[in-house]
Amino acid sequence: MKTYWFNVFLSGIDSMTDEIADALFTAGCDDGLPSSSEGLAQVYFAREADSLESAIFTALDEIKKAGFDFSKVEIDPESILRTDTNRKKGSEIKFQSARKRNRRVLSGTQGDADAAILNFSR
């Protein structure tokens, strides 16, 4: 297994509290570091999984199990094995440059060292 690093931003939550962190931990996010900054609550994961897709989807399932929703996922470019458009469970994942914030799907190269953003639609 490989370790994948990514941030999940929680929607509708502007400050991380002990209660929210405890609920996330209880739901299985014990490999995540909950925090908040500038009105955004997030969980930074270092998750071991067989694939990046598996790492992200299990984290999102656990966040929902804790009673929260997410607004976006940012992944560390080092965690990207494939930078194509992937499909699973009817979801479309598109990787975008975090710095440029455009709709460009990353090519097979890392290019600049920007984080990537995933847009999910289920």
The residue ranges of the chain whose pLDDT is under 50 are 82-116, 121-122
List alpha helices for the chain, DSSP H.
18-26, 52-65
Dihedral class, residue 90 (left if φ above 0, else alpha if ψ from -120 to 50, else beta): left
Phi, psi of 72 (to 5 degrees): -165, 165
Instruction: Please report the pLDDT score of residue 77 as a whole number.
Output: 77
**In the chain, where the domains are located:** 2-119
Q: pTM here?
A: 0.66
- What is the per-residue pLDDT for 78? 67
Q: What is the pLDDT of residue 111?
A: 38
Is residue 7 within 8 A of residue 42, CB to CB? The reply is yes
In which residue are the tokens 């991380």 written? 16
3-state percent breakdown (helix, strand, coil) of the chain, nearest 5: 20, 35, 40
